[in-house]
Structure 1
Amino acid sequence: MKIDADDKAVQDIFSLGYFKIPRFQRPYSWGEDEVNSFWSDIINESGDSYFIGSMVVYQTKRPYFGIVDGQQRLTTITLLLSVIRNGFISLGEENLAKGVHMYIEKANIDNDEEFIVSPETSFPYFQTHIQSYNGLRAKSDVGTEEKKLEFAFELLNQNLMSLIPELESSNNIQGNLFSCDSSDSVRILKDLRDKVLSLKLVFIQLDSEEDAYLIFETLNARGLDLTTSDLIKNLILKKLKRKNSVLDDAKESWNSLVKQFNGVNDKNITDSFLLHFWLSKYSYITDRRLFSAVKEYIGDSDAKARLLIEELLDSSVPYSRIVNPADAKWSREEYLIRDSLMLLKSFKVKQQSAMALSLLRAKDANIITLKVLKSVMHKLVCFHYAFNTITSQRSSGSISSNYSKIAIQLSQAQNNDEAQRAIHELDIFLRSKFPSENEFVVKFISMEYLNKKTKHKPAIAHALRLIVDLPSNGNGLSVDYHNLTIEHLIPQSTRNVDSTVIGSVGNLVLVDSKTNTEELKNSDPMNKIEILKGKGFPVGCNFLETDCFDESFVVERTNKIANRVYALVRKPIFGGIG
C-alpha cells in the first residue's frame, strides 16, 4: 500500500482536480455550533494559515478524487467561498468574485465547467442554489441535508454581514446604521478569502478506494477523526528514530505522557494538554494551528524534537493534577491547592489551565513558594467564580491570550523577582476584567435552587461556604464540605409561597446531611434557625438573625449575601485597592 500524506493548503488541494462525495457517504451534518466555531477560528486566527484536520482521498482517474473522510470540512469551505464570492458581487467587484469562483467551479479538460466539490446526496440543490455563479436557482426537492446546507450558508452569510456591515446595507436590511468605506470592505473580504484558501489539512492520498477505507478505519476505529495529538506524536516519532532494536525512547516517553491522564474521563485530554502546554510555554495559538506551530518549531532539528518530548513529559505530571485533582497525591500543606483546582473544575472553566500549569511548574522548580501558589490559585478561583460562574461573561479569547502571555513570562522566569513581576502582571489583568458589584449582584440574586432546578447549585453552594468559612476566607476552604447539603428554610413543599422565593439564595443554608434529614426535616423556618443555633451554627455571618422569617426577609437576606460574597471574592484580587 502506497500512502502519500502531507499538510496542504486549501488553495493547493482545490487546484489538484475535482472531488466527488459519493451517495453512500454520510450527508452534510454540521449545525450552528460547528459552523460558528469554524467561522470564529478563521476570524480570530492571526497567522497566515492554520490546521483544520485531515482528509482521506483516493484517485479514481486523473484528475478526479473520491473523498473518504473530510467531506464536512470541504463542503463548509465551499459554502464559505460561495458567501465570499457573493460578497464581492454585492460590492461590484466582478473580477474578484470570478477569482474566488475558480475555486468553486472551473473548466475541465473538455473545457466544460465543472464544480470542484460535488456531493451526490444533495444534488442538484448544492450545485444550483449555492455553487452557481449568478445561476438560475432551479427548483429541487428540499430534504434534511438541503435544510442543513441552507442553514449553514445563511449563518455564514449573516456572520459576513456582521463583519462587513456595508453588505447588509446594500440589501436594505440595516440602512445607514453603520458606515463602511467600500475599499475597507473589499480589503476585509480579500483578507478573509486569503485566510480560507490558506487553511491547512493533512492530505492523505491512497492508490485505491479499498486502501483508503482501510486507512480511514484505522484512523477512525472509534469514530474519531485524526487528532492533533496523533499528528504531533507521529511528527515527533518520525523525527526521533529509534537507536536500539529493543528500546524506543521517544515512543516510551510519549506513552508515559499519555498514561498520566489514564484516570481522566475526557477523550480529548491529550489534545487539551498539548494546547495548554504550548500556551503556557511558547505562544498563544488556537487549537487548529497547534500542529502547524509544532511542526514549524521542530523544523529539521532532532534536538528540538527531543527537547519538546522531554518538556511535554515533565509538564504532564502537574497537568494531571490540574485535570484530576481529587485523585492526585497532595501533602497536607497542599490541600488548599487541591481545593482550588477542584473548585475551578466544578465551575467548568478551562481558560486558566495554561496559567495554572505554569504556576505549578514554577512551584516545582522553586521559582515561587507554596504560599505564593496558594494565594494566586485562590485569586483564580475568585475571579472565575465572579466572571464565569455568576456573571457568565464571555472573553472572546482575551482571557486565554492574556493568561498565555503571563504564563510564558512566568515560564521564562529564572528567579523569584522575575516570577513576581509575572504575578504582578496577572494581578493587573484580573483587576481589569473583574465584574462590577452591580453586574455581580444582579446575576447573583436571580439564581435559584430547587429539586427540579439544579443549574445554579454549585454556584450557590460555594457562596454559602464562603460566608460560613469567614475565619479562613482568603486562604481557601478549611473544612471538608463534601457531606454538607443545601437546606431550604421554607420547605419546598410549602404551597402558599412563590417557588422563586423558596429557591432563592436567601432561603438556603448549608448544613450537614444528618442535621438536615434527622432534625430540620420540614419544620418552619424559625424552628430550624433555633435548632441550628443550638448546634453552634454561625447564624450571624449567615444573616439569619430575625424575628420573622417571611418572603420580604428572604429577599433582604439574598441581597445581603450577594453583597457579602462579592466583597469576599473581590478582596483577594484587589486587596486594599479601591
Structure 2
Amino acid sequence: MAKANLLDTNTANVVELIGNGRIFRVPPYQRDYSWGEEQWEDLWTDVTELVQKPDDKHYLGALVVEAKSDREFEIIDGQQRLATISLLALAIIARLQNLAARDIERDKNQERAQALRSIFLGQKDPASLIEASKLYLNENNNSFYQDYLIQLKSPLNPRGLEKSNKLLWTCFEYFSKQLSQLEFCEDGERLATLLSETIGRQLMFIRISVDDELNAYTVFETLNARGLELTSTDLLKNYMFSRISVKTDRDVLHRRWQSLIAKVTAPSFPEFLRYHLLTKYPKVRTQRLFKIFREQIKEPQDVFKLLDELEPRAEIYAALKDPTHGYWQETPSARPYILDFKLFRVRQMTPTLFAAWEKYSIEEFVKLLKLISIISFRYNVISDLNTNTLEPIYHEGAKNILDGSSTRASDSARDLRRIYVGDDKFKSDFSSFSVSGSGQSKKLVRYILAKLESHVSGIPRDPETDSGSIEHILPENPSQDWTIMFPEELWEQSIYRVGNLTLLEVNKNRDIGNKPYGEKVLVYPTSQYRLTQKVAEYAPEDWTPARLNARQISMANRALQIWRSDYA
C-alpha cells in the first residue's frame, strides 16, 4: 500500500478534497456525530453569504487525515464538518428529486441530482456496479448514515433514534427547511449551482495528511479545532482501539473505557495518563505523551495491561480533585488537605500520591497529604518557585514507594526535602507576600487569615464556613485623609499585602468602610477575632508602612510554626 509523505499539507475546496475517487473513514470508536443547531446555523450562514459573493472563499479550518493509501484516508480531526457538509449536499439532492417528482424540469433535475450525487456522495464502481460511499462514519452512526440518509429514506421512528443518529437526521431536516425558504427554492439550476459551486468550490479546507497516528497527534496538538471536534483523549482512545481486531475484545475494551472515563472524565484523561506515566518516567512532556503511549501499546495484551494499571488509579485520581468524594467520607482527616490542593491549584504531586495510596497505610497516607500540603504552601503559594522542578522529584518519590525504598511518610519527607522551602526563605517571602481579595485569591486570603487566627486565638476557624469578612486596614479605595500617615505612592503596593489584611465581622466592616484609621482602630478591639484585636496593640494611634511591615513580619514568624513539616 502506498503511503503519503510524512506530512502533506495543501489547501483544497470541497470538490478537490473528495474528488478522484477518494474515500474518507471515521475510525470505528471515534466520537459520535455531535454537532447541533448552533453549528449548522453557522455553516448555513457562511454558505448563504457566499451566494452573494461568488468570488470569495470561506475557510472551514484544518482537516487532519491519516493516509492509508493514495485514495483512502482515515479522519483524525474534522469528521463533524465533513459529515455536516454531506448532509447539506443530501438535502439539496433530495430537493432536486422532489422538484423532478413534481414535474418541475423532471429530466434535468433528475440528471442534476444524479450528477451531484456522484460528485459529493459516492458513485458506482464500473466493475461491480455497486455504489460506494465517499464517507464512512463511526460504527454507531455509519449504518444509519448509509442505509437511511444516503438512500434518502426516512426513519420509521425518528424519536426512537439513538442520540447521535437523531442529530444526523435533525441536521438533514434543518437544511431541508432552510432550502425550502430560499427565494430560488423551485429553481433546480440555481440549487445545483449552490452545491456544485458555492459549497463545492468556495468552501475551503486546509488538508493535512500524515502517515501515522504519532504524526497525527503531533499535528493535532498544534491546532485550534473548530466546534465540537476531536480531542487528544479521542486520539489516545482511537489508538488503543486500533490495536484490537477481535470484536468481542473491542466490546470489552469499550465497556472498560466507558467506566474509566466516567471516573476521570474525558477532558482530564491525558493529564491522568501523564501522571500515571510519571510514576515510571522522570519526565513526561505533554507533547511526547502520545509517543510514549504508542511505544508502550503495540499488541492487544498491552492495551488490557494498561487498563489494569489505570483502573485502580482512576478512583484516587478523581478523589484527589474532589473534597466531597466518598473516600474522604471514610477518611475525614484527609479532607482538609484535599481542600488545600484544590485551593493551591497543585497537581504535580499526583504520581507520589498514586504510589502512596497503593502502598502506605491510611494513617501514613494522611501524614503524606499533610506534608505535601505544607510543601505546596511554602513552594507554590508563598515562594512561587519554578514548578518544572517538581515533577522529577515527585516521580522519584513515587518510584521509591513502589520499589519499597519508602514505606512511610517520613521516608517520603526525605525524598521530597529538596522542594521543602527553608525557614529563612519562607519567612522572607511571607513577610512581603501580597494577594488580591477577589475570585480564587479571596479564598486564599481567607485561608491564610483563618489559619493565623486559629493559631493566635486557639479557636479553630474554618475558612469555608467562618462568617468573617476580609478587612483592608488601609482601604482598597483610600480617601485623602490617609495621606497623613500613609504616603499615597505606597498605596498600590500595600493594600493587598497580608500585613494589611485581617478578619472582621461583616457589619463592623461595613460600618467602618473607608474611614480614617483613627476611627477604625476604635472598632478593632471589639472584634471576636484575636488577630484583629492585636492590630490596635501594634498600632494604637496610626497605621504606617513601618507598622504594616512589623505586623507582617510577626505574621511570618507565626506562619513558620503553622506551615512546618513534622519531619523538618
TM-score range, shorter chain: 0.5 to 0.7
Judged with a 3 Å threshold, the aligned counterparts in structure 2 of structure 1 residues 424 and 316 are, in CA distance, closer, same or farther, namely same
5+ long unaligned stretches in structure 2: 15-62, 79-210
In 2, Cα distance between equivalents of 1:13 and 1:391: 45
Q: Equivalent residue for 1:309?
A: 307
Q: Equivalent residue for 1:334?
A: 331
Once the two structures are TM-superposed, the CA of residue 254 in structure 1 deviates from its matched residue by 0.7
Q: How does 1:103-182 map to 2 (within 5 A)?
A: none
In 1, Cα distance between equivalents of 2:429 and 2:537: 25
Q: How does 1:477-516 map to 2 (within 5 A)?
A: 480-481=464-465, 483-495=467-479, 496=482, 497=486, 498=488, 499=491, 500-511=493-504, 513=506, 516=509
Asked if 1:381 is matched to 2:393, the reply is no
In 1, Cα distance between equivalents of 2:457 and 2:276: 33
Determine which of 449, 464, 474 is the counterpart of 2:449: 464
Once the two structures are TM-superposed, the CA of residue 308 in structure 1 deviates from its matched residue by 1.8
SS of 2:314's equivalent in the other structure is helix
Number of aligned positions between the proteins: 370
In 1, Cα distance between equivalents of 2:6 and 2:311: 35
Paired AA for residue 467 in structure 1: L
Once the two structures are TM-superposed, the CA of residue 505 in structure 1 deviates from its matched residue by 1.7
Once the two structures are TM-superposed, the CA of residue 321 in structure 1 deviates from its matched residue by 1.5
Q: Contact between 1:336 and 1:477, CA under 8 Å: does it hold in 2?
A: no
Q: Equivalent residue for 1:402?
A: 393
Determine which of 6, 22, 39 is the counterpart of 1:13: 6
- State the Cα RMSD in Å: 4.5
Asked if 1:236 is matched to 2:240, the reply is yes
Judged with a 3 Å threshold, the aligned counterparts in structure 2 of structure 1 residues 406 and 513 are, in CA distance, closer, same or farther, namely same
Paired AA for residue 486 in structure 1: I
In 2, Cα distance between equivalents of 1:512 and 1:24: 66
Q: Contact between 1:283 and 1:405, CA under 8 Å: does it hold in 2?
A: yes
SS of 1:260's equivalent in the other structure is helix
Judged with a 3 Å threshold, the aligned counterparts in structure 2 of structure 1 residues 381 and 511 are, in CA distance, closer, same or farther, namely farther
Query: CA offsets, 1:266-302, max 9 Å, x none?
Result: x7411101111222356643233333333333433x4
Q: How does 1:84-99 map to 2 (within 5 A)?
A: none
Paired AA for residue 557 in structure 1: R
Q: Equivalent residue for 1:87?
A: none
Judged with a 3 Å threshold, the aligned counterparts in structure 2 of structure 1 residues 493 and 238 are, in CA distance, closer, same or farther, namely closer
Query: CA offsets, 1:443-489, max 9 Å, x none?
Result: 434444556x878545443332221122899xx97664465432113
Determine which of 316, 341, 344 is the counterpart of 1:344: 341
Once the two structures are TM-superposed, the CA of residue 403 in structure 1 deviates from its matched residue by 0.6
SS of 2:564's equivalent in the other structure is helix
Once the two structures are TM-superposed, the CA of residue 252 in structure 1 deviates from its matched residue by 1.0
Q: Contact between 2:76 and 2:230, CA under 8 Å: does it hold in 1?
A: no
Judged with a 3 Å threshold, the aligned counterparts in structure 2 of structure 1 residues 4 and 13 are, in CA distance, closer, same or farther, namely closer
Judged with a 3 Å threshold, the aligned counterparts in structure 2 of structure 1 residues 283 and 231 are, in CA distance, closer, same or farther, namely farther
Q: Contact between 2:413 and 2:567, CA under 8 Å: does it hold in 1?
A: yes
Report percent identity of matched pairs: 18
Judged with a 3 Å threshold, the aligned counterparts in structure 2 of structure 1 residues 329 and 541 are, in CA distance, closer, same or farther, namely farther
Q: Contact between 2:2 and 2:70, CA under 8 Å: does it hold in 1?
A: no
In 2, Cα distance between equivalents of 1:60 and 1:296: 24
Determine which of 42, 56, 61 is the counterpart of 2:65: 56
In 2, Cα distance between equivalents of 1:402 and 1:322: 19
Q: Contact between 2:469 and 2:509, CA under 8 Å: does it hold in 1?
A: yes
Query: CA offsets, 1:516-558, max 9 Å, x none?
Result: 44x6545655765665544532248966533334213222101
Determine which of 549, 553, 556 is the counterpart of 2:547: 553
Q: Normalized against structure 2, the TM-score is what?
A: 0.54
Judged with a 3 Å threshold, the aligned counterparts in structure 2 of structure 1 residues 540 and 534 are, in CA distance, closer, same or farther, namely closer
In 2, Cα distance between equivalents of 1:241 and 1:482: 58
Query: CA offsets, 1:198-249, max 9 Å, x none?
Result: x9963569xxxxxxxxx99xx957365651x33432343344455649x922
Determine which of 408, 418, 421 is the counterpart of 1:435: 421
In 1, Cα distance between equivalents of 2:326 and 2:505: 26
Q: Equivalent residue for 1:222?
A: 227
Q: Contact between 1:468 and 1:541, CA under 8 Å: does it hold in 2?
A: no
SS of 2:308's equivalent in the other structure is helix
Q: Equivalent residue for 1:569?
A: 563
Paired AA for residue 390 in structure 1: I
Asked if 1:420 is matched to 2:407, the reply is yes
In 2, Cα distance between equivalents of 1:55 and 1:272: 23
Asked if 1:269 is matched to 2:291, the reply is no
In 1, Cα distance between equivalents of 2:420 and 2:317: 26
Once the two structures are TM-superposed, the CA of residue 319 in structure 1 deviates from its matched residue by 0.6
Paired AA for residue 237 in structure 1: F
Judged with a 3 Å threshold, the aligned counterparts in structure 2 of structure 1 residues 501 and 454 are, in CA distance, closer, same or farther, namely farther
Q: Contact between 1:467 and 1:542, CA under 8 Å: does it hold in 2?
A: no
5+ long unaligned stretches in structure 1: 6-11, 26-53, 71-198, 206-214
Paired AA for residue 383 in structure 2: T
